[in-house]
Amino acid sequence: MSPRPVQISVIGAAEGEPETLDAAEAVGRLLAEAGAVVICGGRGGVMEAASRGAQSAGGIAIGVLPGSDPEDANEHVAHVVATGVGQARNLAVVGSGNAVIAVDGHWGTLSEIAFARKLGKPVVALRSWELAHRTERELGIAEADTPEEAVRLALEAAG
């Protein structure tokens, strides 16, 4: 039996500025090119952009939805998990990844970062939340300036 591919959770807001969405799409594409599976919230914005990037490179994106209707997933998600648990699905999104890349984001993204760290998952922030009261080593959150750096750091952290 062959080992499972690395799974990287890509988190961010359900909407975003064009440069944010371009970065998320590049992250998804680069992850797929590296053979990783993209895990995301399955809806719009950063989630859709990362899914589109993965799909464009022949990769797989898995969408973990807050609702119970699989049809709510964006068209670029290959596999859908319809949880019906609302925002509690954020825990499943980050728990399913070997590492997490946060692209920009709002309150839901902040909750996912907190869940990821509580689970001991490494987080890479790309234009995302800065938590300045602790050092990077204490927080387990690395900052990246480019999609390429974010993917490299996440894949390294994932092992």
Quick: pLDDT tens for 75-95: 999 999 999 999 999 999 999
pTM of the model: 0.95
Radius of gyration over every alpha carbon of the chain, rounded to an integer in angstroms: 14
Q: How far is CA 24 from CA 54, 125, 145, 146, in A?
A: 10, 12, 13, 10
| Structural domains of the chain sorted by starting position, each given as residue range(s) with its CATH number in brackets | 7-129 (3.40.50.450)
What per-residue confidence (pLDDT) applies to 140? 79
How does pLDDT run across 20-41, given as a tens digit for each residue?
999 999 999 999 999 999 999 9
Q: What is the pLDDT of residues 107-142, one digit of tens each?
A: 999 999 999 999 999 999 999 987 766 555 667 799
- Cβ contacts of residue 106 below 8 Å, gap of 6+? 13
Q: Which residues contact 123 (CB under 8 A, 6 or more apart)?
A: 99, 100, 101, 102, 113, 116, 117, 139, 140, 141, 142
Instruction: Give the bridge partners for 8, in sequence order.
Output: 38, 99
pLDDT of residue 46: 98
